[in-house]
Copies of this chain bind each other. A is one copy, B any other.
Amino acid sequence: MKKLMNAADTMLAESLDGFAAAHADIVTLAADRKFIRRRTLTPGKVALISGGGSGHEPLHSGFVGRGMLDAACPGQVFTSPTPDQIVEAIEAVDTGAGSLLIVKNYEGDVMNFEMAAEIAGDHRMATVVIDDDVAVPNSTWSTGRRGVAGTLVVEKILGAAAEQSMGLAELQQLGRAMNARTRSMGVALSPCTVPAAGKPTFQLGDDEMEVGVGIHGEPGRKRTRLEAADAIAEEMIGSIVADLAPSEGRECLLLVNGFGATPSMELYLMVNAARRILQARGLVVARYLTGSLVTSLDMAGCSLTVSILDADTMRLWDAPVKTAALCW
């Protein structure tokens, strides 16, 4: 294992301290590093709270700030945050309008957010579960589809809507609708290594890729020889579009997401491949987002996400955002 680190058991804490210091104008880190929250809350706004295992940075802490999340609870690497982290985040950022919990569909996350909601039962709360990964119907830690890079799309759109005073029930409805219009699929060119484990989560031959990989390195649909980028994009976009079944001429957002060890040059090459394929299938790519935003430690590879946008959700996507990782 080759990582910039001091010790596996202090790695997350040291990284969170660095993050909080570097972005002190936007966020603060709570006591015992239980959550990252906005430095300044907006009274009367519904609070958006997310979280999950660490190792996917900048998701979710990098999306805390104006126009997006109010708090993010970082679990240990690839491990759900504990209910008490989530309860403390709710208590810290709910200013009276209630809290919307945005949860990726993994058993541990769903269970711990549910337990937190029970414990914090005197707060008004609603939950949106994200399950945008079309690769497999069930996976190692999920009953049903996994929640992956599409999570950030839902967080951005809900963040803008909350900023514009949308209420809790409407936000939940919008979140579920956006999740239904958002589909993703990934491919790994290398495994990732969890610091505490010290060895790769899976093995991949020098000429192999894992098609449909999960963001913890969970198995996908198949392992094949590494193909050309166009063929990889064709398979991913084909699966996504078949599932979304959008009508001809619909406008969409294309998110090309790196898994942590993928150079910018390759990500933009995938943008170019995916946009041509989407256009050939009658979709209009109206918005783009490219970057290593929902990562898997040091895994190489990428995921593609397509979100169908209408005039309202396009406006929400375009609304200002100011977080450590997204800004416009």
Contacts and interface: CB of A to CB of B under 8 A. Distances in A.
A55 B263 CA distance: 8
B300 A265 contact: no
Interface string A288-299: 111010010110
A295 B291 CA distance: 14
Interface in A146-175: none
Contacts of A263: 55, 57, 260-261, 295, 297-298
Contacts of A54: 265
Nearest to A226: B2
Given A4-B189, A4-B302, A5-B229, A292 B268 contact: no
Contact of A265 (B7, B11, B232, B262): B11
A261 B298 CA distance: 7
Given A260-B264, A268-B18, A269-B15, A6 B292 contact: no
Nearest to A17: B272
Which among A58, A285, A288 has the greatest number of chain B C-beta atoms within 10 A?
Answer: A288
B57 A265 contact: yes
A5 B57 contact: no
B62 A275 contact: no
| Complex copy number for this chain | 2
Contacts of A268: 15-16, 18-19, 22, 57
B265 A15 contact: yes
Contact of A2 (B2, B4, B190, B267): B190
Contacts of A322: 328
A3 B230 CA distance: 12
Contacts of A273: 6, 14, 18
A300 B19 CA distance: 20
Interface string A17-32: 1110111000000000
Q: Which interface residue of A14, A15, A228, A269 has the most chain B CB atoms within 10 A? A: A269
A4 B206 contact: no
Contacts of A14: 229, 269, 272-273
A72 interface: no
A5 B228 CA distance: 6
A327 interface: yes
Contacts of A328: 322, 327
A149 B131 CA distance: 39
A4 B298 contact: no
Contacts of A262: 4, 261, 298
Given A21-B271, A232-B4, A300 B266 contact: no
A324 to B, nearest CB: 8
Given A260-B261, A261-B300, 10 more contacts: A4-B302, A6-B230, A11-B269, A15-B265, A55-B263, A261-B261, A262-B298, A298-B300, A327-B327, A327-B328
The 5 tightest CB contacts between A and B, nearest first, are: A18-B272, A18-B271, A22-B288, A18-B268, A57-B264
